[in-house]
Chain A
Amino acid sequence: MTQSSLSEPVPITAAGTNIKRLDDGAPSRIGRLARRVALPAAILIAWEFVTAAGLVSSASLPSPLTVAIAWWEWIFGPRQALAWYSGTWAAYVLMSLERVAAGFAIASVTGIALGVLIGWYRAVEDFCDGTINFLRAVPMTAWVPFAVFIFGIHESAAIFLIAFGSFFPIVVNAAAGARQTPRILIRAARMLGTPPRKLLLRVVLPAALPAIFTGLRVGLGLAWVLVIVAEMLAVQGGLGYALWSAYQFSRLDLILAAIASVGGLGLASDRLISLLAHRVLRWQHGSTGQ
């Protein structure tokens, strides 16, 4: 192992353990940056080449430049009454973000609370386990007609779908984390004076945190899936709505711009939660972040 590969920030897996990888030699910072951008650059170049050389018609695949121009207009163009594709990008991004944030917040609070209780109290587990496992087995998209029927074409339908969908990975992981609380830590807390009713907060919750963050990450990914589905079918506005409208207008350039937008937001929110996990779980890592 080389010095520089050890001094690299080690990626944190979902479970929070550090991985050491084999590495070839000692790549420089710039060398690694070059490797990271190589694949996206190659895809863009190949894409430009295919469209510029006329290997496919521009109607079936727009060039990267066409997409960029459409995206630009979507972001900075003047807002007009009927042209949803002009100047609406920021507003749509905000709508999608708000829905994801609201649904994910509901799912996080309820999922963590119920999950920890399930993992700690056998009675709660017996009570909830069957129901949760049944509901979890239903693909989330199957709930779309139900949600629209109950809530109508309304904000609450989207938030319901997102909250309901991302609830399950969160609750299941929180329960698993709480269930695996080492018995010896429970005993340690008891002999240091913690009464049984406080064990949940003092020991079980912190012991479950790594698993909880795994659940939160999976749940957030699912929240992005569901916001797109909901916006395509159940509500007005947002990136999913833009995707579907672009399809109906046969605007592949806008479809691609919307996809890139969703990808960027999903990636950014995942980084955000990883950062949060890294801070909260710094007791698991090698350095204390000084």
Chain B
Amino acid sequence: MSTQPFISFHNVHKTFRDARAGRVVRAIEDISLDMARGEFVTVIGPSGCGKTTLLNMLAGFERPSGGRVLLEGEMIDGPGADRGVVFQEYALFPWLTLRQNVEYGPQERGVPASLVRELTDRTLAMVRLVGAETRYPHELSGGMRQRAAIARVLVNDPKILLMDEPFAALDAQTRARLQREVARLWLETRKTVFFVTHSVEEAVLLADRVIAMTANPGRLKADVRIDLPRPRDPTSAPFNEHRRTLERLLTDEIAADGMAAASV
């Protein structure tokens, strides 16, 4: 066995030019981070801290301006089906039915039709969407759309699941239900998950590790291991201990940010 980490960010920088303000924005500054296979990592931080940029670099949608992002020791070069992305806006193809959306990935990869059917059936059962297969995305509720979005990446059996604030647009009850589902799916599949959120509770509920980031420029602030047994009880004392710690970290961050903004 090599000691090579499953995923690693090596001194990653990301700058981009803000055309309107006419200045260079440092979205990510010198981030180094390793993730083990099967780990559930959540990333929290104020908006503009670059957490989605980190996810986009893992997905291959964006390239680092400096440093390297590696998956199993290989440089990430563009998007691929080995890294499934779940977007906040679902991003299902509106012209395909739920079933066709799930079948899309295997079909694009040239999986034989009978196997596509089998994989799709199994995945739809896993996310509990059996019976809605012939509906189009706009005919589904937000919760069902996000399940479908999860199904269409799970069906590809990706090495890692990248989830970009997947439940931010859902109502509280649906969100809680989907959080439980994701926790269950993770226990079943033991996929590596990189999960971006701005909810501390969500981060503590789901993760093995919570990465907290600061904004302007985006840097790592804390890397907290959550060693609570699953399923987790958000009302328990240890849960709230973690939650308080992280919330304090973030509040400091937001206050500092506000002061910086006020002094400009």
Contact = CB atoms under 8 A, between A and B. Distances in A.
Interface of A: 182, 184-185, 187-194, 198, 202-203, 206-207, 209, 282-284, 286, 288
B99 to A, nearest CB: 13
7 closest residue pairs by CB, A with B: A193-B81, A190-B79, A192-B105, A193-B108, A188-B91, A191-B79, A283-B136
A206 B93 contact: yes
A197 to B, nearest CB: 12
Given A187-B79, A283-B138, A288-B139, A192 B91 contact: no
Contacts of B91: 182, 184-185, 187-188
A78 B64 CA distance: 81
Nearest to A182: B91
10 contacts: A187-B87, A188-B92, A191-B61, A192-B152, A194-B108, A198-B108, A202-B108, A206-B95, A207-B95, A283-B137
Contacts of A189: 93, 104, 108
Interface string B68-85: 000000000011110111
B138 A191 contact: no
A192 B83 CA distance: 8
Contact of A191 (B83, B94, B96): B83
A175 B165 CA distance: 32
Given A192-B84, A288-B139, 8 more contacts: A187-B61, A188-B92, A191-B84, A192-B152, A203-B93, A206-B95, A283-B95, A283-B97
B201 interface: no
A184 B95 contact: no
Contacts of B27: none
State the main secondary structure of chain B at its contact with A: loop
Contacts of B60: 190-191
A159 B96 CA distance: 37
B193 interface: no
Classify chain B's interface size.
20 to 34
A206 B94 CA distance: 9
B134 interface: yes
Contacts of A185: 91, 93
B153 interface: yes
Contact of B134 (A187, A206, A288): A288
A203 B217 CA distance: 35
B257 interface: no
A283 B136 CA distance: 6
Interface string B143-184: 000000000110010000000000000000000000000000
Contacts of A286: 139
Contacts of A202: 108
Q: Which one of A188, A209, A283 has the highest number of Cβ atoms from chain B below 10 Å of its Cβ?
A: A188
A207 B137 CA distance: 14
A288 B138 CA distance: 11
Contacts of A188: 85, 87, 91-93
Contacts of B153: 191-192
A209 B108 contact: no
Q: Which one of A187, A189, A192 has the highest number of Cβ atoms from chain B below 10 Å of its Cβ?
A: A192
A182 B93 CA distance: 10
Contacts of A198: 108
Nearest to A190: B79
B93 A191 contact: no
B30 interface: no
Interface string B95-114: 11100000011001100000
B89 interface: yes
A141 B101 CA distance: 47
Contacts of A209: 95
Nearest to B111: A193
A193 B156 contact: yes
A282 B78 CA distance: 33
A193 B109 contact: yes
B119 interface: no
Nearest to B110: A193
A10 B97 CA distance: 22
A288 B95 contact: no
A218 to B, nearest CB: 22
A192 B96 CA distance: 14
A192 B101 CA distance: 10
A184 B105 CA distance: 16
A2 B74 CA distance: 61
Contacts of A191: 59-61, 79-81, 83-85, 153
A191 B105 CA distance: 9
